[in-house]
Structure 1
Amino acid sequence: MIAHEIQTDLINSCAKETTRLMMEELALCLRYVDKIGRVVERFLGILHVANTTSLTLKTAIESLLMEHGLTFSRVRGQVYDGASNMKGHVNGLKKLIMDESPSAYYVHCFAHQLQLSLVAVAKENRDCVLFFQQLANLLNVLGMSCKKIRMLRVAQAEWIIKALELEEIETGKGMNQEMGLSRPGDTRWGSHHKTIMHILRMYPSIRLVLNKLVRDPTQSNEAMLAETMLTYFESFDFVFMAHLLQTIFGHTNDLSRALQKKDQDIVNAVELIHLTKIRLQLLRDDGGWETFLEEVTSYCVKHKVKVPQMGGKYKPPGRPSRFYKNLTNLHRFHVEMFLGLIDRQLR
């Protein structure tokens, strides 16, 4: 019982068992308007459920409400995530409750809807799909072991020290904090923006670690994946798309955070959406392309990424050229990628 390894195993076992029990329970909170018109939120209780099917959840919620003299007929709203057992149109929890109380209107969180919509629309663009596929490969290469995570952490710390010595970055409270590469999720607000932002800030460190993995003789299988990843990672295509998505998701992330404020009202929310569309339209039309291309080019020069001539013929990194015959770099990056992605977001 005093051995370190045994203690670690016991702690892990307790954590897993506790998590399992928590996942089998249902917490219920009430949000209501009191007699003088104030909006109040109160925790009601936790119930154990055998499974998470919609019927089981409905029965559990109903039993807890009945204990306190409440029924579904008094419910005026319900909010869930996008899981089928919660908001399904046929047998979802939302549908079962509305069958008994049609006035229990379902509301899907505005910020949640925004994140799902923006990511889904962005992935209509083939180049964006490729980017996220390669992003997943990158996270698989770098985030699947403690050794690689430590390699990246050390590389980033060394780069920050060097950059500070050369006065390439500023110092100050809260600046140059340690960053990680979390996997983005379609249902996590702003996760795509955060991941891309971290990758661009850690670009030199990530490239250094990928090069080390390629040269590591003990990593034969992963060295091949790292080499393939490095080819795309060092391309202008990757840097361009990363900057474009960071810019677009940066504008919409401000909107998403505003929609999550408790004191937000629908009139102001609509105005915020209108303002975000104006910002995207300005990026598209009002000299935004020239400014954006200058920013990307400056980044590439700083990190020694080859910048193609916009009037030259487009050559895809690691892909057959036959699908891009007679295509100039300007048309490829400006029309197909820059305008194509912004227009989808505006729609």
Structure 2
Amino acid sequence: MRGAFCDDGVKEAKYFSVTVDSTPDASPVDQLTCVLRYMENETPVERFVHFFDNAGHTGQDQANSLLRFLEANGIDIANCRGQSYDNAANMSGKYRGMQAIIQQINPLAVYVPCTAHSLNLVGQTAVSSCRPVVSYFGFVQELYNFFTSSKSRFANLMDRIKKDHASRRA
């Protein structure tokens, strides 16, 4: 992990906040995305800094991944002043979530739930009362699961989409 992050802006700024989210990549491999926010010349900066391999799904596993990255890059968790994650229990959990573990180490790292994830939950709740919408998105989710559970099916799908797109442009 050493050398993965070469921007010294966060070190010069000293104080920062962190956002970590779990996301599959195109293969689809589950990974953690890490973004740091800090001030640079009186300008707020939000910078993607690293993909971590998802070493586990517990709050402790994910906190350990973040802490190892910060330590390997000389960034002191004691200077963290904010953290934002999704609403999953392993991230936002009050006792064993990643935010609670980071706050035990640094009580000044205030947790704020990610507004984009919160808005998504509001949308899910709003449409969950409409059976045709639930059925449609359930079907779309099953299609996604089918194609992403196999690398070859996923590659075939992407090739087909590219061919269809190219034929429409011609």
Which interval holds the TM-score relative to the shorter structure?
0.5 to 0.7
Distance 1:38 1:89, change over 3 A: same
User: For residues 116 and 19 of structure 1, do their structure 2 counterparts lie closer, same or farther at Cα, with a shift above 3 Å needed?
Assistant: closer
Query: What is the 5 A alignment of 1:186-335?
Result: none
Distance, in Å, in 2 between the alignment partners of 1:84 and 1:68 is: 28
Deviations 1:38-77 (A, max 9, x none): 1112332233233221111111111111112112211111
CA distance in 2: counterparts of 1:17 and 1:37, whole angstroms: 36
AA matched with 2:35: C
- 1:85-104 matches, within 5 Å, as 85-104=90-109
Q: Are 1:18 and 2:51 an aligned pair?
A: no
Greater relative contact order (CA < 8 Å, ≥ 6 in sequence):
2
Q: Following the alignment from structure 1 to structure 2, what is the Cα–Cα distance between the partners of residues 142 and 46?
A: 27
Is 1:27 the equivalent of 2:25?
no
Q: How many residues align?
A: 119
Inter-partner Cα distance in structure 1 for 2:62 and 2:89: 13
Q: Secondary structure at the match of 2:121?
A: helix
| Cα contact 2:87–2:114 (8 A) shared by 1 | no
2:66 pairs with one of 50, 61, 65: 61
Cα distance between partner residues in 1 of 2:139 and 2:92:
35
Aligned to 1:133: 131
Q: Could you say if the C-alpha distance between residues 113 and 134 of structure 1 is closer, same or farther in structure 2, counting changes exceeding 3 Å?
A: same
Superimposed CA distance per residue, residues 11-59 of structure 1 (whole angstroms, 9 cap, x where no aligned partner): xxxxx99313xx1x3332221112x321112332233233221111111
Take 1:136 and 1:107, find their aligned partners in 2: how far apart are those partners?
29
Three-state SS of the structure 2 residue aligned to 1:76 is: strand
Render the CA deviation track for 1:254-305: whole Å, top value 9, x for unaligned: xxxxxxxxxxxxxxxxxxxxxxxxxxxxxxxxxxxxxxxxxxxxxxxxxxxx
What TM-score comes out, normalization by structure 1 length?
0.30
Cα distance 1:86–1:135, how it changes in 2: closer, same or farther (>3 A)? same
In the TM superposition, residue 111 of structure 1 has moved relative to its aligned partner by: 4.7
Distance 1:142 1:17 in 2: 17
Identity of aligned residues (%): 28
Paired letter, 1:46: F
1:143-194 CA-partner distances (Å, limit 9, x unpaired): 978xxxxxxxxxxxxxxxxxxxxxxxxxxxxxxxxxxxxxxxxxxxxxxxxx
Equivalent in the alignment of 1:74: 79
Instruction: Point out the structure with the larger helix share.
Output: 1
Which one of 96, 99, 110 corresponds to residue 115 of structure 2? 110
Gaps of 5+ in 1: 1-15, 146-347
The answer on whether the counterparts of 2:86 and 2:118 sit within 8 Å (CA) in structure 1 is no
